[in-house]
Amino acid sequence: MTRDECPICLEPLDETRSRLVDCGHEYHFDCIRKWHQHSQDLKCPTCRKPSHYLEKANQKVKIDLRKCGDANRAIVELAGSISNLALEPENQSRSWTLSSLECGICGTLDSEINRYCTVCYTAYHERCLRVLQLEVGDFCHRLFCCNCHQAFADSDESSSVRSRTIQRLDMPRIHNQPSPLNRGSNDPSEIDESWKLLSQLQSEARLQAIASHKRSIQNHVRRALNLHFFDSAPSGCRTVDKKQFTDINKSVSRRLYRMSDYVYCPESINYDDEARRLIQQELSRLCPGPCTS
């Protein structure tokens, strides 16, 4: 067995390679997490030595495996989408620890945690806060931390800001040699840091999802538009030049995004037909006159 092969799936180790810190054996991130979830212990499959930390090679994210279960499942869910993102090498000297970030109300941690009190470092599901609010008969629009009663920033504003900006992964603290003694979910800065990482991953995953929906829609537009472009156009069809192609592609695609609310749903919308129809509209606007196609 060569060194650069994941012992679990026997495929070459790629950028998702991750190292068990205690024994140094390397696996694909997904493979070793899948195994640990199955085995219910934290032993290395190769040497059976327990390892409490897993380090993701490319991002230098150090994950505390003892806070296993939900926290890591959330990361695993997100890992698929973030592994595609190009992360800057400037982060390579740093490593972060993902601490426990359970919802302060329901106690679970998953990728849907979306509220975080920056005053007392408590995370929540927005839905849990809303339910609680209804239960206590508080019909106020704003949400409050149920630990320290600090008001959260307005929901719409913060979510739109998060979904539209890509921030650099830039965490404040560096863990060079994590000591197991002072580690715990009570260290506020660590929770703070983990929260930032988690919300970062969430927003990047969201952006990626939107981008992939857009790409799928654009494919339909391009296919329809190619019929009008240069030589590939069948005779009798109106042709467009490169600039017109780009403009029409852009405006038709945008209208289709809005039409489908930024989610690609080929079941309910016939994108080919819609794209053809909108392209005809654009073409007739471009140079009015009968169109033969």
Partner 1 sequence: MGSRLAKEYVQTAKTLRNDPAFSHVLALAPVSDDVLNKWEATIEGPPQTAYYGYQFKLQIEVDQNYPIKPPWICFEPQTVPHCNVDYDSGRICLNLLDADHWSPAWDLLHSINAIWQLLANPEPDSPLDIDLACLFRTKDYCAHDSLVRYYLNGGSRGSTGPIRGTR
| CB closer to partner 1 out of 1 and 86 | 1
Residue 10 or 151: the one with the smaller Cβ distance to partner 1 is 10
Which is closer to partner 1, CB of 25 or CB of 52? 25
List residues binding partner 1 (CB under 8 A): 1, 7-11, 31, 34-35, 38, 45-46, 48
Least Cβ distance, residue 5 to partner 1 (angstroms): 9
- The owner of tokens 């008001």 is 151
We find the least distance from the C-beta atom of residue 55 to partner 1, in angstroms, to be: 19
> What are the start-end ranges of the H helices in 96-236?
126-135, 155-164, 188-226
| Type of residue at 73 | R
Tell me the closest approach of the beta carbon of residue 66 to partner 1, in angstroms.
Answer: 20
For residues 49 and 142, which CB has a smaller minimum distance to partner 1 in the complex?
Answer: 49
* Smallest distance from partner 1 to CB 7, Å: 4
**Distance between CA atoms of residues 56 and 37, nearest Å:** 17
Name the residue nearer to partner 1 (CB basis): 6 or 240.
6
Strands 61-64 and 96-98: parallel
DSSP helix/strand/coil, 31 = helix
Q: How many helices (H) and strands (E) does the chain have?
A: 7, 7
- Compute the half-sphere exposure of residue 98: CA atoms within 13 Å on the CB side of its CA: 30
Amino acid at 72: N
DSSP-derived 3-state class of residue 212: helix
Shortest Cβ 110–partner 1 spacing (Å): 22
Helix axes 188-226, 70-82, angle to 10 degrees: 40
Does an H or E element contain 87, and which? none
Select 45 or 69, whichever has its Cβ closest to partner 1. Answer: 45
Task: Please state the closest distance from residue 39 (CB atom) to partner 1, in A.
Answer: 8
Minimum distance between the CB of residue 9 and partner 1, rounded to whole angstroms?
A: 5
Return the biggest CA–CA distance within the chain.
Answer: 78
- CB 46, min distance to partner 1, A: 5
**Distant-in-sequence, close-in-space partners of 218: CB < 8 Å, separation ≥ 6:** 249, 253
**Nearer to partner 1 (CB atom), residue 38 or residue 242:** 38
From start to end of the chain, where are the E strands? 17-20, 26-28, 53-56, 61-64, 96-98, 115-117, 122-124
- Cβ-based nearer residue to partner 1, 3 or 38: 38
Question: CA geometry: angle at 40 spanning 13 and 200, to 5°?
Answer: 55
